[in-house]
Structure 1
């Protein structure tokens, strides 16, 4: 099989295309002939070695990639809910393996696309993240009908899944924030935001407006300023650290004085320990994307352009999603 390997921790140049033996499914697993593999910010952090000292994290050489779409190649023992040739989307349990022409997935982390008119590039870009949005909004933020949601980094991979899922779950309004360089792209997005604003203008841009739920995959100063946009009972979900500010802290006194909750959501940690959420999350995500609530710009590059894809992610020159395709 064709695969992109990270031969060491470091910059994008450590990514190389290679040929490896084809994979076979074990019990409870599915192999997938991959057509598209999503490129996400977490792929960059893993490649850079940000998490290299944490137990269970991959060590070179490894194949990056958390999400793929394609068709079922073979079924392992005990898998009865899928058929060979069926179009599917799959999520990783390990945070690796996606940048390959053949992918092994645990069956519970796979959802069928059969009977759903969803472009495979959109499917891999949106369904896994929408499933995570469902889990974060229902299990962690406990979003209620009619509540308002603020999403930072509005056009980013994970963030872009939240407006559609929040609307499907009954949010009254969903507002996004982006850096000034992304405002033009935000003006033409088809994602179902009610409004997208300049994040450097927080909190003043909202006047007295408050939000029930804030989704923050950005971190740093954006997280601190978000506290001024939340009323009593507000919940902030720390869902990433795109800012790269790993030393950022918030005084707990601000939380009890404002009666505000901050909760972390890390899909890699949360989903394995809450397996009952996975199937309804994937099915809700598929429904949201099939309903047109996940329309975003997707650009496809070949496996040979994996380093370029990571460079573009690092310099923030994107206003949508990147996917990689084998055979080019």
Structure 2
């Protein structure tokens, strides 16, 4: 089979397309013939040797990637035989191996796919979708809500816009460049704005009139997030789940002192990690099930940006330069 391997930490060019032996499932495991594999900004950080929610690989070479969907083509000892031949999606967790034509995973991590849900969409929902629903645990959205979504053309941003619109909220979507802004508008945002334009906050204020924002979903940090927070009214909520504006390795989340929060009359909360898991009942699978159910019902429709598996390095470069729309997916 073919896989993408990383032999040394560094730039995207270090990801190489190679022929390797197919993995063999162990007891309680299955092997998936991969139809789609997810790519995450975290993958790029790990590629460079940085740590985060997941540790950098202890040994090289390694096959990156932790989100896969496809068809079960082999079973390990003791695995339920009913999985063989079924279309599934799984998050591999701490063990990488997704950027490949075949991947092995514990059967306990599998989710069966409905016939009308594609593998690329399922990959988007098993990672990006579960994170989106984890974030939304911290925000009660309704017709009185005004939600500001920076990076609204990204994988999470696309789903946040849809969810907020389904809840009846007014949605302000921010994106960089005309193409992304157009996609955000097509996705249902009440106002889509190019944050690269210096007057974008004035455009939002003119649109809202006497209203103010009630929640900012902040995955970018930096000046864009600070300007978005300035749109919040008293009682507003700033939810932090990323800081991509500062780069993969060097970015920092936008934070405020208690005095600043009191002066603004807002709340700021980081929602990643243990606090999100605790909200989900201590089991990330609860979020996976909810995300896939939303995709199956059609209430959430992920946007995907596909690349051939052999072009994983190109996919990483595009993601790092913000040249993608939606969830980046590799297709073997």
TM-score, normalising length: structure 1: 0.83
Unaligned runs of 5+ in 2: none
Cα drift, residue 276 of structure 1? 4.1
Separation of aligned partners in 2, 1:37 and 1:55: 18
Q: How many residues align?
A: 320
Change (3 A) 1:77 1:212: farther
- Matched residue SS, 2:323: coil
Change (3 A) 1:249 1:216: closer
Per-residue CA deviations over 1:178-201 (Å, capped at 9, x if unaligned) read 113544542664x34333212244
Separation of aligned partners in 1, 2:288 and 2:253: 32
RMSD: 3.1
Change (3 A) 1:196 1:78: farther
Cα drift, residue 29 of structure 1? 4.2
Of stretches 99-108 and 82-91 in structure 1, the one that deviates more from structure 2 is 99-108
Cα drift, residue 87 of structure 1? 1.1
Matched, 1:258 2:264: yes
Per-residue CA deviations over 1:29-48 (Å, capped at 9, x if unaligned) read 44322111122222222212
Separation of aligned partners in 2, 1:107 and 1:213: 38
Change (3 A) 1:285 1:263: same
Pick one of 179, 183, 186 that aligns with 1:186: 183
Alignment check: 8 A CA contact 2:50 2:56 kept: no
Alignment check: 8 A CA contact 2:161 2:188 kept: yes
- Matched residue SS, 1:288: helix
Structure exhibiting the larger radius of gyration computed from Cα positions: 2
Cα drift, residue 105 of structure 1? 3.1
Alignment check: 8 A CA contact 1:148 1:171 kept: no
Change (3 A) 1:261 1:23: farther
Match of 1:123 in 2: 122
Separation of aligned partners in 1, 2:9 and 2:274: 20
Q: 1:76-87 alignment to 2 at 5 Å? A: 83-87=83-87
Match of 1:151 in 2: 149
Match of 1:162 in 2: 160
Alignment check: 8 A CA contact 2:175 2:184 kept: no
Change (3 A) 1:108 1:142: farther
Cα drift, residue 4 of structure 1? 0.6
Q: 1:38-187 alignment to 2 at 5 Å? A: 38-51=38-51, 56-59=55-58, 60-75=60-75, 83-94=83-94, 96-107=96-107, 109-114=109-114, 116-138=115-137, 141-146=138-143, 147-168=145-166, 170-183=167-180, 185-186=182-183
- Matched residue SS, 1:214: strand
Alignment check: 8 A CA contact 2:305 2:327 kept: yes
Unaligned runs of 5+ in 1: none
- Matched residue SS, 1:225: helix
Q: 1:141-290 alignment to 2 at 5 Å? A: 141-146=138-143, 147-168=145-166, 170-183=167-180, 185-186=182-183, 189=186, 191-200=187-196, 201-207=199-205, 208-243=210-245, 244=247, 246-247=251-252, 250-252=255-257, 253-266=259-272, 270-271=276-277, 276-290=282-296
TM-score, normalising length: structure 2: 0.82
Of stretches 100-109 and 223-232 in structure 1, the one that deviates more from structure 2 is 100-109
Cα drift, residue 75 of structure 1? 4.9
Change (3 A) 1:43 1:233: same
Separation of aligned partners in 1, 2:104 and 2:68: 10
Alignment check: 8 A CA contact 2:243 2:253 kept: no
